[in-house]
Chains A and B, each alone.
Chain A
Amino acid sequence: MMTQEEVLHLPHEQIEAIQLEGVKKTVIACYENVEFHKRAFDEAGFDPYALESLDDLQKAPFLTKQDLRDNYPYGLFAVPLSDVKEIHMSSGTTGVATVGGYTQRDLEIWGDCFARGITYANGGPDDICHVCYGYGLFTGGLGAHYGGLAAGCTTIPMSAGNTERQIRVLREMGSTIICCTPSYAMHIADTAIEMGLDPAKDFSLRAGIHGAEPFSDNFRSDLEKKFDYKVLDVYGLTETMGPGVAIECWEQDGLHLAEDHFFAEIIDPATGKVLPDGEWGELVLTSVDREAVPVVRYRTRDITRIIPGECACGRTHRRIDRLHGRTDDMLIIRGVNVFPSQIEDVMKTFDGVSSWYQIELTRKGSLDVVTLKAEVDPDFDFDQMATIQNLQKRIKSAMKSALSVGIEVKIVEPKSIPRSEGKAKRVVDLREGE
């Protein structure tokens, strides 16, 4: 048995050999055990027994979120339910939930994958891992929990909510690693500050493994300043496992994919063509060794790219870039495609407004109206009306040139944008019929 660090340092050819061998088994298992895959492969003329190289996988059809929904609840399971130990589900806010199933082996691999984040943070048995992702059907809580256990940490299953209690436990138990959504980490920091604490001094945190929602570099550095720790971005999705598919290392220069468990392609979301390394597109994942619900060419709808070249940390698993939005988060505003990440990119260049902002879409007659609400920052000198108006004007013109859409900018009072204990709501669409 190799140690996790040995796996993470394998020569890339060896990783590719593991991938090829695993993908061969995956496509055959899908074909033989899942009626839906058999039909889809046959329709696409894809012969799973003829797969000789990873490039051959491009002949396989894509699997979409809709396919997962259509096969709710057990349609895509490749093993008998007696072998399935756990079920998770995506939130299903936009439709039928999608189901993740796990065999004992799947759960162990999940733990190992998330534990890599703790390894990247140079963590292990001496760490106290405070998990305040929500526990339950959401993969965040238990995924981080299994990761904490696999890394040998003392793991505290806090789940989300009851922030004052989180703060008490963080202080009193001396937690060194915290796993939660970035917005909840910020909420904890701000609440601690309101309680008169200094999270940098009063807590012992040295790393935060934060994911499940996008966050800007500015938001990250804000968090890092408040807690005096390092933030590692973690990526994953219920459809292929949960958090741990890719995690940032201490270099904070892209997220290392767990390539021994997932084979990644980047495609042009419009044409489905595979793009070369370095180009932005939609991430497509094929599981290498998942047993319960293997996936072949699952379209994640997440926009990223493979970062070419090697990471300074010396680990050989390739990196994806931090997510640049989702193909389905794309807003169509007056016919123009806008990604919330573009708005985030603009906002992070502005002092004077805090990390809390929200986009509100409304309709006036037949015209879409976009209003950006941003909370005024405590350090901003707003004594003169002209300074505020100037800030509004600068944000407005930066948005106009970045998005090609005119927006209204509203500066609002502190705490007037809802804080959530789960995901930050950056966009509120109040347009009718959408």
Chain B
Amino acid sequence: MIDQLTVFLENKEGRLAALCRVLADAEINMTMLTIAEVSDYGLVRIICDDTQRAVEVLDEAGFRAMSSKVIAVEVPNRPGGLAELLESMDALKLNIEYGYCFNISEQRSVDVFKINGAEDVLDSIRDAGYTLLTSEELF
């Protein structure tokens, strides 16, 4: 499991920039950022090199930030990489709350998922032949 930073942002001018500035000034490096939005607000999800400290500095700066646990699965960077993983997870009857994907090299991709009760299914995912990455392995 890896730590993910989630920040609640109102849909207002300059908020995302302000958020990134706080992290930049704290010398926190992001490897991934994604935004889920509805009309008034959005959730910014970030994978960075120090989630705990990110929560603290954002809290101080008046943001509502929290850290949550997600799983990061490594898949080959080729057509069908994600499809095969999802089929395996489907077979395990895992319900994904949300997810996103990114490449870390020409050969390797990372698929991140939020699954409620994920601790109990880590072994089944490994048994299906997948590698679960730690935060360190992403940096």
Contact = CB atoms under 8 A, between A and B. Distances in A.
A165 to B, nearest CB: 22
Given A413-B9, A416-B10, A382 B40 contact: no
A382 B9 CA distance: 11
Interface string A379-407: 00111111011000000000000000000
B36 A385 contact: yes
Contacts of B8: 376, 382, 388, 411, 413
18 contacts: A376-B8, A378-B64, A382-B43, A383-B6, A383-B68, A384-B97, A384-B98, A385-B38, A386-B97, A410-B41, A411-B8, A411-B41, A412-B41, A413-B9, A413-B62, A413-B64, A414-B62, A416-B10
Interface residues of B, number: 20
Contacts, number: 48
A381 B8 CA distance: 11
A383 B43 contact: yes
B98 A381 contact: no
A364 interface: no
Nearest to A389: B38
Given A382-B43, A385-B43, A414 B64 contact: yes
A378 B63 CA distance: 10
8 tightest A-B contacts by CB? A383-B68, A383-B6, A413-B10, A415-B62, A376-B64, A414-B64, A384-B97, A382-B8
A376 B63 CA distance: 10
Contacts of A415: 62
Given A383-B6, A412-B10, 12 more contacts: A376-B8, A378-B64, A381-B68, A382-B8, A382-B43, A386-B97, A388-B8, A388-B41, A388-B43, A411-B8, A413-B8, A415-B62
Interface in B1-53: 4, 6, 8-10, 15, 36, 38, 40-41, 43
Interface residues of A, number: 17
Interface of A: 376, 378, 381-386, 388-389, 410-416
Contact of A384 (B15, B64, B114): B114
B110 to A, nearest CB: 19
Chain B binding surface, main DSSP class: strand
A376 B10 CA distance: 11
B94 interface: no
Nearest to B68: A383
Contact of A383 (B38, B40, B66): B66
Nearest to B66: A383
Contacts of A383: 4, 6, 43, 66, 68, 114
B35 to A, nearest CB: 11
Nearest to A414: B64
Nearest to B9: A413
Given A382-B8, A385-B36, A413 B63 contact: yes
A416 B9 CA distance: 11
Contacts of A378: 59, 64
Contact of A382 (B10, B38, B59, B66): B66
Contact of A410 (B36, B40, B64, B66): B40
Contacts of B15: 413
A415 B59 CA distance: 11
B2 to A, nearest CB: 14
Given A410-B40, A411-B41, A382 B6 contact: yes
A399 to B, nearest CB: 17
A385 B98 CA distance: 9
Interface in B63-115: 63-64, 66, 68, 97-98, 114
Contacts of A384: 97-98, 114
Contacts of B66: 381-383
